[in-house]
Amino acid sequence: MILEISAAIALAGITSSGVLWFRQRNMQRRYAQEIQALHALHAEKLRQNNLDRNRLLDALSDAFLIVDADHRVRFVNAAARDLFNQRELIDRSIEESLLDPRLLQGLLHSIKTGEHVQSRLVLSQQTSPRGDLENRGTNAWHVDAAPLPNPESLRPLTRVLIRDVTTEHQLDQVRKDFVANASHELRTPLAIINGYLENLLEDEILKDTAMAHRFLTIMRKHADRVSRIIEDMLVISRLESGEASALNIEPFRFRSCIDDVLERLESLITNQSATIKINMANPDLILEGDRFYWTQVLFNLIENALKQNPLGKLTVEIGCNVVGNHVCIDVADNGVGIPSADLAHIFRRFYRVEKHHSQQEIKGTGLGLSIVKRAVEAHHGKISVTSKPGIETKFSIAIPHALTS
């Protein structure tokens, strides 16, 4: 009996320790599974975070690279991949990756010293990162390199942002050219005025009233030129300001605008014995726009046709007609024309065709067409030009019909 009891106790002991062992093993397995699940969750979160970070960095329009202390590229965003034509950059040295050593300078300095370095570079298209695909001649780049905030345990990393600032650079250049050209254009008449003033200040000349009168007339002519250049530059800057208030839009009869311009140019037309033809299906066509600028547009186009062609039988045709959704205005002449190489440039400020026109004799500053283009664009229109020298040179303007009634 006693034996049976102790056997039963022993059996119970074995069973309970077996149960305990099983429980423990299950618990361990569950813990292991939970830890594994936590690891997986953590890894997934990390992956998601990395994806989010990459997505954010890919959304940057600037090229962004991370470089380690050994000059190896560790990260590139989408803009950087585009910039370097999808070349494989990861793990490659920056010396190999960034083609131009000038692009490297700031970055290398930042890696070496840990300083924040910013620089602006103008590179030729061959050495610019975009290489052959680029056809703007030169590219300007803003390079910004700085160390990344990094826990001390990790190796130092440096980030670099490369921004294409070519457009800003070109605008700067245009502005500088404008100032340089304007000063150049103003200097000549001012020097002439000064020269005559000095002469006038000599007593002898003042006594000769006929001579003094002649000098004053010349001075007035050059002073008029100075004011015209300044006037033109102010018109350009007003139109370029893009302010809606720059235009005073109201309905007007386009034909009356043509008549005003022809009246102002009457002596030139007579001197040149030019024939003027007006082609308007509806002479009462009303345009919604700034009459002041349309007068400037027509004046310059017709004046150009007349003054560029002092010799020979000149016919100038002026047209204004509704074509579909647009009002098309054109001024055509059968004069010397514009060489095809110059056609792309004639709307630039101060640009004058020099080669085959005798520009010494033909007066002008080269601002007229620049004003014409800006005035047309301010009315949401487009202007184009075609030229077959001696046959037809035609300036064509199209403005949306909505602007007219």
131 contacts 82 by C-beta, under 8 angstroms: no
Residue from the set 181, 296, 334, 365 that interacts with ligand ATP by CB under 6 A: 365
Nearest distance, CB of residue 372 and ligand ATP, angstroms:
7
Contact set for Mg ion, span 32-91 (CB under 5 A): none
Q: Does 368 bind Mg ion (CB under 5 A)?
A: yes
Three-state DSSP at 226 gives: helix
Of 49-57, 274-282, 301-309, 371-379, the segment contacting Mg ion by CB under 5 A is: 301-309
Residues whose CB falls within 8 Å of the CB of residue 39, separated by 6 or more in sequence, listed in order = none
Q: Tokens 């936590």 — which residue?
A: 38
Q: In angstroms, rounded to a whole number, what is the distance separating the alpha carbons of residues 42 and 142?
A: 38
- Alpha carbons 216 and 219: distance in angstroms, whole number: 5
Cβ nearer to Mg ion, comparing 228 with 238 = 228
| Residue partners of 186: CB distance under 8 A and separation at least 6 | 226, 229, 230
CB-based contact 142:165 (threshold 8 Å): yes
Closest alpha carbon to 316 in 360, 349, 273, 285:
273
Q: Report how far apart, in Å, the C-alpha atoms of 166 and of each of 8, 128, 134, 136, 251 are.
A: 94, 11, 11, 9, 41
Per CB under 6 A, does 295 bind ligand ATP? no
Rg, Å, the chain Cα set: 38
| Contact status: 225 vs ligand ATP (CB under 6 A) | no
Q: How far is the CB of 298 from ligand ATP (least distance, A)?
A: 12
* Residue 333's binding partner out of Mg ion, ligand ATP, none, with CB under 5 to 8 Å set by partner kind: ligand ATP
AA identity, residue 82: D
- Per-residue contact track with Mg ion, 102 to 131, x per CB under 5 A? ------------------------------
Alpha helices in 202-290 (DSSP H): 203-207, 209-240, 254-264, 266-272
Tokens of 381: 């229109």
364: contact with ligand ATP by CB under 6 A:
yes
- For ligand ATP, give the closer residue by CB, 107 or 346: 346
Backbone angles phi, psi at 350, to 5 degrees: 70, 10
Q: How far is the CB of 356 from ligand ATP (least distance, A)?
A: 9
Q: List the one residue out of 152, 80, 165 whose CA is nearest residue 119.
A: 165
Q: Would you count residue 375 as binding ligand ATP (CB under 6 A)?
A: no
Distance of closest approach, residue 255 Cβ to ligand ATP, in angstroms: 22
Of residues 144 and 333, the one with the C-beta less far from ligand ATP: 333
Structural element, H or E, at residue 59 = helix 2-59
Residue placing its CB nearer to ligand ATP in the complex, 186 or 200: 186
Residues in the chain, overall count? 405
Is 383 a binding residue for ligand ATP by CB under 6 A? The answer is no
Residue number closest to ligand ATP, CB atom? 368
Q: Which of 110, 139, 181, 300 binds Mg ion (CB under 5 A)?
A: 300
Segment lying near ligand ATP (by CB under 6 A), choices 7-15, 198-206, 213-221, 331-339 = 331-339
From the CB of 352, what's the least distance to ligand ATP, in Å? Answer: 3
Q: Which does 393 bind (CB under 5 to 8 A by kind): ligand ATP, Mg ion, none?
A: ligand ATP
**Residue 189 in contact with ligand ATP, rule: CB under 6 A:** no
Q: Does 367 sit near ligand ATP (CB under 6 A)?
A: yes
Binding segment for ligand ATP among 203-211, 215-223, 235-243, 298-306 (CB under 6 A)?
Answer: 298-306
End-to-end alpha carbon distance in the chain: 122
Contact between 162 and ligand ATP by CB under 6 A: the answer reads no
Among 89, 305, 375, 399, binds ligand ATP (CB under 6 A): 305
Beta bridge mates, 397? 329, 383
CB atoms within 10 A of CB 41: 10
Contact 385, 271 (CB under 8 A): no
- Sites of contact with Mg ion (CB under 5 A): 300, 304, 368
- Sites of contact with ligand ATP (CB under 6 A): 300, 304-305, 308, 333, 335-338, 346, 351-353, 357, 364-370, 393
